[in-house]
Structure 1
């Protein structure tokens, strides 16, 4: 059991370490095309999970870059927004609901300049979620932890993330089960109603035809 748990922790840790470090070029476009040309990086994140977004927006001549961080709920939670930004950024927050968290970058070309290949900005982004979003160096310096204690703290955070994910999956499974049971109950009653309606209609047709044929003296 311990070996299995340790294996799960290692697998989960490897997944988290492989998270999202991306780098791309974002062309500058006129103001009329900013929305359609924005570039978004998204990841599903459960509720009450720490997210750390770090990155860098490179220099760009006559370009205005910005970004917005929000989720995809009906009323989106906005976790950060900058309309003009250059240089390194760091944004940490706890999610308020289950959903897909996205960071969208825009790069607008200033008035008087025509769109051209040389007008681009380099965007670097690292998207960390859960245990990987913790600043262990800061924790180590403030609490004076050794290397082994830091690693144990990191594993503890990963295990907590796994437990949180399992609880979330359990809640989803319970909701799906309730939905299935409710649907089955409705289908059952609808089927019984349909069967009763068909039987009643069949009986009425037999009685009506029997009465009709008797009036016509076709049967006794």
Structure 2
């Protein structure tokens, strides 16, 4: 029984799916930032509706569209996804390198920005393997299925740990490189100082000899 409760608790906490909705004014763009380890698959589903002032409700007119972009902020905002699509659809991409990714959505109308308010519902599934490709919404009913889901969550946790190790390795390499430069520059300064002192002593000795003080 305790194992079952543990399985249920971990399953509830480490869900790979996030859902949200937001509003956009005409010409406005909304961006979201995700830290993704290398090889992570992201699948998104969105549903956009435009406010109709005549009916006072949200609907999907034929001229409504969505412009979606995904950029790698760690690589000088390198764009890996850019697509214009219907107001209801899906997108997916795989992170080629570890780092922060920026996902942006903008509403369009007849190829131009609409002035009406747009409501967008966005679902993101982040992970790897078949568990994010499955679109079924049936509840898990057996312990074996829950254990399998826990294993997939643990895979996600290990992926996050790998990302942290990569960050720590990068920080350590940068610190070692900085320390090496500091030591090298200190040695150079001491060498220059030694040469300067030797030159000054030689110059003073020559001066005293010329003045017949030595």
Take 1:41 and 1:22, find their aligned partners in 2: how far apart are those partners?
11
CA RMSD of aligned residues (A): 3.7
Q: Which residue pairs with 2:107 in the alignment?
A: 107
Q: Which residue pairs with 2:22 in the alignment?
A: 24
Q: Which moved more, 1:44-53 or 1:173-182?
A: 173-182
Q: Which moved more, 1:157-166 or 1:98-107?
A: 98-107
Higher strand fraction (1 or 2): 2
Which structure 2 segments of 5+ residues have no match?
A: 50-59
Take 1:83 and 1:148, find their aligned partners in 2: how far apart are those partners?
42
Q: Which residue pairs with 1:76 in the alignment?
A: 78
Number of matched pairs:
197
Runs (4 or more) in structure 1 with deviation over 4 Å come to: 60-64, 109-113, 135-140
- The 5 A counterparts of 1:131-150 are 134-135=132-133, 138=136, 147-150=142-145
The offset of 1:131, in angstroms, is 6.4
Take 2:65 and 2:127, find their aligned partners in 1: how far apart are those partners?
32
Q: Please give the secondary structure, in 2, of the residue aligned with 1:153.
A: helix
What are the Cα deviations for residues 121-176 of structure 1, in whole angstroms up to 9, with x where unaligned? 11111222126962456599xxxx85322211211111111122222322332333
* Alpha-carbon contact 1:42-1:101 (below 8 Å) kept: yes
Q: Which moved more, 1:177-186 or 1:191-200?
A: 177-186
Which structure 1 segments of 5+ residues have no match?
A: 30-36
Take 2:143 and 2:111, find their aligned partners in 1: how far apart are those partners?
56
Q: Which residue pairs with 1:123 in the alignment?
A: 120
